[in-house]
Amino acid sequence: MDWAGLSSSRLKSIVEFMRVHHRSRFDNSNRSISRTHRVLEAILPWLSAGPQHIPLPYFPFSVASWNSLLSKFCSARGKLMVLINLGIPCRVDFAQQEICPEKIKSVQVLEGDWATIGSVKVWNYVPGGSESGKERIEAIDVDNKSVTFNFFEGDVLKVYKTFKATLQVTNKDDACLIKLTLAYEKQHEDTPPPTMYLDFVANVSKDIEAYLLKAQDKAAEDSVS
C-alpha cells in the first residue's frame, strides 16, 4: 500500500470518521485492524487520483455514512459526490418529465438523442427556484455504466464558471446504486458548493424509485388477474 500521498492529518480524520460512524474501537483485535485497512485501501486511490475514481461501496458500510465521508473530503477539491440507493433496478435516462413534473418541468432534445456523445438537451427544472440549462453529453463509459453531462448554458453558470455532472448507475440483484459526481469551478471564492443539486437529484431519484415500484406492482397484479 502506498501511503506517500496521504497526510497525517487526513489519515487521522479518516480514522476518526470510522471510529465515530462505524463504532470501531481500533484496538489490537484483528477484526478492527482488518476493517480499517479495507476502508483505507478503498479510499486511498480516490484521495490521490480524485474522487471520480472512488470505488462503489460493496463493503459493509451504509450509504449514509459513506456520503458523510464524501462530503467531508470532496468539496475542497471543487467536486461533490453522493450515493443514492434505490430498491429497484433503473437506468440513467429514467429522469423524465412525466415521472416528476413538479421537479422537472420540461426536457427537450435539441441535438442527437439521449444516448449519444455530443447530444444536447435543454432542461427546465426546480432545484429550489425555477431554473433552465443546456447540457451536452461529454462522455459515455459503457463498461462502468456512466454518463458525463457538461452544462454550457443556463442559470447554474451564473454561479459557477464550469459545471459537469457524472451519473453512474449500478444495478445489483433487485436494487440500484446511483453515484452522482458534480465537478465545478466557482465564480467567486465565497460561492457555496452546489449541494442543492445533489439534493435535487436525490429527490428525483426517489420519485423514479416510487414510479418504478408502482409500475412493478401493477404489472404483478395484472399477471395474476
Same domain as 150, residue 45: no
pTM as predicted = 0.69
Q: Which of 152, 147, 153 is nearest to 115 (CA)?
A: 147
Same domain as 135, residue 36: no
Question: pLDDT per residue over 3-33, tens digit each?
Answer: 334 455 555 555 555 555 444 444 444 444 4
Residue 136: per-residue pLDDT: 98
Task: Tell me phi and psi for residue 54, to 5 degrees.
Answer: -65, 140
Residue 176: per-residue pLDDT: 85
Residue 35: per-residue pLDDT: 53
Give residue for cell 448554458: 153
In the chain, the amino acid numbered 183 is: A
| Range(s) of the domain holding residue 188 | 86-224
Cα distances (Å, whole numbers) of residue 43 to 14, 37, 57, 118: 10, 10, 10, 32
Residue 77: per-residue pLDDT: 59
- The total domain count for the chain is 2
CA 205/CA 212 separation, integer angstroms? 10
pLDDT tens digits, the chain, 225 residues: what are they? 333 344 555 555 555 555 554 444 444 444 444 554 555 555 555 444 444 444 444 334 455 655 665 555 555 557 888 888 888 888 766 556 678 889 999 999 999 998 899 999 999 999 988 999 999 999 999 888 899 999 999 999 999 999 999 998 888 778 888 888 899 999 988 888 898 998 899 899 889 889 888 888 888 888 776
Same domain as 96, residue 43: no
Same domain as 118, residue 180: yes
Residue 38: per-residue pLDDT: 56
Same domain as 166, residue 220: yes
Same domain as 185, residue 115: yes
Same domain as 31, residue 102: no
